[in-house]
């Protein structure tokens, strides 16, 4: 397969003032791009190069896994946000959140706490596990994809995702992510 970085689903300035163009430029052009470039080098001349990105994530280990999973996780993260996002979901996903968490407020609190509590670098995810919504966190490049879970959206809690705009205030970044950025349309489409 030919691996190339997917374009962002919006302009780098589109999430401002919540995430600035400077943050997206560093995060996408430097970090995400580096994972893709590393992956391409690691796959040169190897049979894995013929697999899809998801197949590589699910079947690899070591450096290939780390870079492939980070490419997948980041692409999923970009789609997990949108301009004028955030707030509460609607429709079937809203009903499932109420069913599995009791209320949106309870879900929001649990997601925020889990993401804030992820020690070091990693991710917080809303997933479907055996028909039930769950919040999971993963460290470093790990992803629920390898555990067979259906991902609905993710928040990147590596410092490079927020440090330029929020410095060490991960909680403030997470508040902004949930209230102003999360793409509930993307999550709902994944939920179907």
Domain boundaries, the chain: 21-79, 91-191
Q: Distance (Å, rounded) from C-alpha 136 to C-alpha 115?
A: 9
Which run of H or of E encompasses 151?
strand 150-156
56-74 confidence digits (pLDDT tens): 999 999 999 999 999 999 9
Looking at CATH, the fold of the domain delimited by 91-191 is given as minor pseudopilin epsh fold (3.55.40)
To the question of pTM greater than 0.95 for the whole model, the response is yes
90-121 confidence digits (pLDDT tens): 999 999 999 999 999 999 999 999 999 999 99
Contact predicate 76/70, CB 8 Å: no
CATH code for the structural domain at 21-79: 1.10.287.990
Indicate the Cα dihedral angle 93, 136, 36, 58, nearest 10°: -90
């Amino acid at each position: 397969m030919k691996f190339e970085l997917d374009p962002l689903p919006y302009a780098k300035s589109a999430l401002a003032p919540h995430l600035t163009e400077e943050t997206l430029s560093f995060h996408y052009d430097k970090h995400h791009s580096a994972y893709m470039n590393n992956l391409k080098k690691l796959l040169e001349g190897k049979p894995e190069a013929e697999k899809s990105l998801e197949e590589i994530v699910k079947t690899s280990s070591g450096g290939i896994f780390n870079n492939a999973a980070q490419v997948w996780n980041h692409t999923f993260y970009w789609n997990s946000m949108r301009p004028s996002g955030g707030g509460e979901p609607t429709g079937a996903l809203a009903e499932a959140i109420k069913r599995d968490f009791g209320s949106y407020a309870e879900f929001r609190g649990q997601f925020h706490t889990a993401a804030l509590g992820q020690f070091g670098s990693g991710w917080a995810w809303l997933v479907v596990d055996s028909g039930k919504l769950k919040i999971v966190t993963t460290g470093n490049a790990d992803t629920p994809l390898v555990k067979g879970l259906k991902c609905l959206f993710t928040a990147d809690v590596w410092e490079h995702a927020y440090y330029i705009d929020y410095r060490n205030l991960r909680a403030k970044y997470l508040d902004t992510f949930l209230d102003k950025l999360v793409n509930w349309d993307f999550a709902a489409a994944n939920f179907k």
